[in-house]
């Protein structure tokens, strides 16, 4: 499966997941709103998501997948040795996860206090609610870590669709929980969501187990042993985890500052803004990064440095071609987007305005977030997991300093801007290091295309500024009318970008058709 096809497969399924996620978020905003119960649930959900990004996504996509693929390559394509390696990893991972989950559930009170300071402006009730929700959500970490191990196996043998589809199941479970709760009591709806996080993890793990059985991948439970391969993986896990989880760590820092220093609702405003900002990151960044890493690992293992660098150039082109206009559109049209999607039921007009301002701040860093996903495989494919973590740690320090500097004059918007600044620092440093080592440089095609991408995006911004007053969405307009007007606004921006890109020679119709999966390039 080539990079474009793999990215399209992962991206399309991630898009379905994000659509289901937005249905969930709209229901959540309507039934729970942006008050005490919402803040408590979102903080409780943030904790297992942080560790998921650190251990599940970080360890298995950055450290386990390259090692598994190198073993497959060394065995001439056979899976026997790689399967034995996976079983050895599972034998060590499972008891560690069980112990860690028990400890974190038991210590939920001190952990939540360390994160929030006990909510100085809200009182004991909000703190107690958050601790209770955290104990309900934290088992999700163990479940999603095991799911990620199985997903890494399937990705390594080219079955990208199964793992990419798993989040859809989680969102379906969460949506069902919201509908079942009825929404009469925000705290009851939030508690149901917390329970459904863990239930969704059980469903995801069952889906991956069944898919591995169908693919002929059967892992046996063995007694834990620290053999040389497992020792090597453990040496790689910590730096890989911190590097891959940098964005989530920054968001946890942002959440902690909002909980400690800002009023009720700030945590929720940042969450809903981040969810919209994460849409392009999930579809494009995760898709490209997931497809690029095993491809680069195999090319470098075969000694083809030039082909690996070419693949990374195409990945950078692809992510910027899609994220530059997405970021610009989210900045310019943040308020109508938030109003149409979330301003219903418990979610007020004031919540919409506050969330839109945060979205604009986050979106300024969107291209950087996605570039990190495209650049990091350049290190991980060469078994260098330490450099990205050093860069990530520096970026976290920048995030903390920027957040603290901006939260006082700009409130929650300052937190969003500080997160964007740290993402740009992270991406720029990764780029510079790869270039300094001679492991990445823009080729002639990329140097020709990237300035034109910026011009096409600028043309789109001009059109959006001109069209937005004509398509103003009145707060009292019916939902169908709001959706139509928002659709027209987005369509105007999209047509402007594509038209400008075509005039600037960024693509030809025949070239686009040639790139589609299943199409042969003209001879």
Residue 291 structure tokens: 């497809």
The rounded distance, in Å, linking the Cα atoms of 395 and 376 is 14
Q: 399 and 491: one domain?
A: no
- Residue 461's domain spans which residues? 447-523
pLDDT value of residue 522: 39
Last residue of a domain, one of 404, 425, 441: 441
Mean pLDDT of the chain: 78
The reported pTM is 0.68
Residue 133 structure tokens: 């929700």
pLDDT value of residue 172: 92
pLDDT value of residue 111: 83
**Are 285 and 369 spatial neighbours (Cβ–Cβ below 8 Å)?**
yes
Whether residue 278 has pLDDT greater than 80: no
**507 falls in which pLDDT band (50, 70, 90)?**
low
**518 falls in which pLDDT band (50, 70, 90)?**
very low
Q: 102 and 201: one domain?
A: yes
Distance of alpha carbon 491 from its chain centroid, rounded? 25
Which of 160-164, 173-177, 180-184, 341-345 is modeled with the greatest confidence? 173-177
Q: 418 and 473: one domain?
A: no
The rounded distance, in Å, linking the Cα atoms of 469 and 23 is 27
Residue 208 structure tokens: 């991956």
Q: What is the pLDDT of residues 319-358, one digit of tens each?
A: 787 788 888 888 888 888 888 888 777 777 888 889 999 9
Q: 76 and 219: one domain?
A: yes
pLDDT value of residue 216: 76
Q: What is the pLDDT of residues 182-215, one digit of tens each?
A: 666 777 888 888 899 999 999 999 988 888 888 7
- List the end-to-end C-alpha distance of the chain, in Å, as a whole number: 20
Residue 303 structure tokens: 């000694």
Q: 522 and 428: one domain?
A: no
Mean pLDDT of 104-128: 78
**Residue 115 to residues 46, 52, 118, 418: CA-CA distances in angstroms?**
10, 17, 8, 18
Q: What is the pLDDT of residues 452-472, one digit of tens each?
A: 888 988 988 888 888 877 777
Q: 249 and 380: one domain?
A: yes
Please tell me what DSSP assigns to residue 382.
T
Q: 47 and 106: one domain?
A: yes
**Are 131 and 112 spatial neighbours (Cβ–Cβ below 8 Å)?**
yes
**77 falls in which pLDDT band (50, 70, 90)?**
low
Angle at 402 between CA 399 and CA 405, to 5 degrees: 145
- The answer to which of 21-25, 117-121, 273-277, 517-521 has the lowest mean pLDDT is 517-521
> Who wins on pLDDT, 162 or 459?
459
Whether residue 523 has pLDDT greater than 60: no
Instruction: Express the helix, strand and coil content of the chain in percent, nearest 5 each.
Output: 80, 0, 20
Q: 400 and 487: one domain?
A: no
Whether residue 240 has pLDDT greater than 80: no
Q: 355 and 299: one domain?
A: yes
Q: 50 and 114: one domain?
A: yes
Distance of alpha carbon 441 from its chain centroid, rounded? 26
Q: 494 and 432: one domain?
A: no
The rounded distance, in Å, linking the Cα atoms of 334 and 359 is 6
Q: 234 and 348: one domain?
A: yes
pLDDT value of residue 173: 92
Structurally, the chain folds into a number of domains equal to 2
The rounded distance, in Å, linking the Cα atoms of 276 and 299 is 35
Residue 237 structure tokens: 């896990």
Whether residue 159 has pLDDT greater than 50: yes
Last residue of a domain, one of 395, 419, 441: 441
**Are 427 and 370 spatial neighbours (Cβ–Cβ below 8 Å)?**
no
- The answer to which of 45-59, 125-139, 171-185, 249-263 has the lowest mean pLDDT is 45-59
**53 falls in which pLDDT band (50, 70, 90)?**
low
The rounded distance, in Å, linking the Cα atoms of 107 and 301 is 44
Last residue of a domain, one of 441, 476, 495: 441
């Amino acid at each position: 499966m080539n990079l474009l096809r793999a990215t399209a497969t992962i991206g399309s399924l991630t898009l379905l997941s994000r659509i289901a996620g937005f249905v969930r978020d709209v229901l959540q905003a309507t039934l729970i709103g942006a008050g005490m119960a919402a803040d408590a649930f979102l903080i409780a959900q943030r904790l297992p998501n942080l560790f998921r990004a650190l251990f599940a996504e970080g360890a298995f996509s950055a450290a386990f997948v390259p090692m598994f693929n190198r073993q497959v390559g060394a065995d001439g394509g056979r899976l026997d040795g790689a399967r034995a390696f996976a079983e050895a990893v599972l034998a060590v991972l499972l008891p560690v996860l069980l112990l860690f989950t028990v400890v974190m559930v038991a210590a939920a009170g001190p952990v939540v206090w360390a994160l929030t300071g006990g909510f100085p402006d809200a009182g004991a009730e909000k703190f107690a609610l958050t601790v209770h929700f955290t104990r309900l959500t934290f088992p999700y970490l163990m479940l999603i870590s095991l799911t990620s191990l199985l997903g890494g196996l399937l990705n390594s043998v080219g079955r990208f669709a199964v793992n990419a589809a798993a989040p859809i199941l989680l969102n379906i479970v969460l949506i069902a929980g919201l509908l079942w709760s009825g929404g009469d009591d925000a705290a009851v709806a939030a508690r149901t969501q917390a329970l459904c996080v863990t239930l969704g993890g059980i469903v995801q793990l069952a889906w991956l187990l069944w898919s591995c059985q169908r693919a002929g991948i059967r892992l046996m439970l063995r007694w834990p042993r620290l053999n040389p391969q497992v020792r090597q993986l453990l040496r790689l896990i910590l730096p890989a985890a911190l590097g891959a989880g940098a964005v989530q760590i920054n968001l946890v820092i942002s959440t902690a500052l909002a909980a400690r220093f800002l009023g009720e609702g700030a945590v929720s405003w940042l969450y809903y803004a981040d969810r919209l900002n994460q849409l392009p990151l999930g579809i494009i960044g995760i898709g490209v990064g997931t497809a690029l890493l095993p491809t680069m690992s195999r090319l470098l293992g075969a000694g083809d440095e030039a082909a690996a660098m070419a693949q990374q150039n195409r990945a950078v082109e692809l992510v910027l071609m899609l994220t530059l206009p997405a970021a610009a559109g989210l900045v310019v049209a943040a308020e109508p987007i938030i109003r149409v999607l979330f301003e219903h039921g418990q979610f007020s007009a004031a919540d919409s305005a506050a969330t839109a301002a945060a979205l604009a701040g986050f979106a300024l860093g969107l291209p950087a977030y996605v570039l990190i996903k495209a650049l990091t495989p350049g290190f991980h494919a060469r078994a260098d997991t330490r450099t990205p973590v050093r860069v990530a740690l520096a970026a976290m320090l920048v995030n903390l300093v920027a957040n603290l500097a901006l939260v006082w004059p700009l409130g929650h918007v300052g937190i969003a801007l500080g997160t964007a600044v740290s993402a740009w620092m992270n991406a720029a440093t990764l780029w510079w290091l790869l270039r300094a080592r001679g492991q990445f440089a823009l080729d002639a095609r990329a140097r020709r295309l990237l300035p034109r991408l910026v011009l096409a995006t600028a043309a789109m911004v001009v059109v959006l500024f001109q069209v937005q007053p004509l398509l103003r969405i009145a707060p009292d307009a019916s939902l169908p009318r709001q959706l139509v007007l928002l659709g027209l606004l987005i369509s105007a921006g999209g047509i402007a970008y594509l038209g400008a890109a075509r005039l600037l020679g960024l693509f030809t119709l025949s070239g686009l058709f040639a790139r589609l999966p299943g199409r042969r390039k003209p001879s």
